Amino acid sequence: GAMSHLPYFCRGEVVKGFGRGSKELGIPTANFSEQVVESFPSDISTGIYYGWACVGNGDVHKMVLSIGWNPFYKNTKKSVETHIIHTFKEDFYGEILSIVIIGYIRPERNFDSLEALISAIQEDIEEAKRQLDLPEHLKLKDYVKDFFNLPEGKIINNH
């Protein structure tokens, strides 16, 4: 289920998503390509997770991540969308996004309105921040930096 695969390391190119995160939700997300999404364990639970993320060779930031079908938007393809808890000055399509998923917040669910969805996401972000400030998760951040700074071509978890 949710925790058996954690921590889960992944890296891949950031591709254009549905364009909803920033525009409709005010919560920009970085999307992985279908190949990266398909490489996730098939039995990993859909839902909301938290962990650490890094774009290119940049700093490591807190992130919250959604794995699933986005029932509110009735997607037919599974997606993995990462919201990095940091303000970037510009888009980073084409950059390599490295993530480590370390915890699970809640299962995926549908919402009656866009407002309800946005408020749930805001709560998820607050929960991720709280969790990632815990000493055991902060400790992992330093270890994660080593993974993120691996030379290109180094393979972890088959990625």
Tens of pLDDT, residue by residue over 103-141, are 999 998 888 888 998 899 999 999 999 999 999 898 888
Nearest of 106, 136, 151, 146 to residue 9 by alpha carbon: 146
Question: Is 150's pLDDT higher than 70?
Answer: no
Q: What is the dihedral of CA 114, 118, 124, 128, to 10 degrees?
A: 140
Which of the following is catalytic: 81, 123, 127, 152?
81
For CA atoms 42, 132, 29, 57, give the dihedral sign.
negative
Residues in the chain: 159
Note the CATH number of domain 8-147.
2.40.30.30
**3-class DSSP assignment, residue 13:** strand
> For the stretch 34-45, what's the b/e string if a residue is b when 16 or more beta carbons lie within 10 angstroms of its beta carbon?
eebbebbeeebb
- Do the Cβ atoms of 99 and 63 come closer than 8 Å? yes
> Domain map of the chain by residue range?
8-147
Question: Is 156's pLDDT higher than 70?
Answer: no
- Do the Cβ atoms of 65 and 82 come closer than 8 Å? yes
Residue 90's pLDDT is what? 84
* Residue 135 φ/ψ, nearest 5 degrees: -55, -40
- Hey, what are 18's tokens? 């549905």
The single residue listed with the structure tokens 């946005």 is 118
- Mark whether 136 is an active-site residue: no
Rounded to whole angstroms, the maximal C-alpha distance in the chain is 45
Residue, of 72 and 84, whose pLDDT is higher: 84
Distances (CA, A) of 100 to 17, 23, 75, 90, 140: 20, 26, 24, 23, 10
**How would residue 73 be classed by pLDDT, with cut points 50, 70 and 90?**
low
Amino acid at 100: V
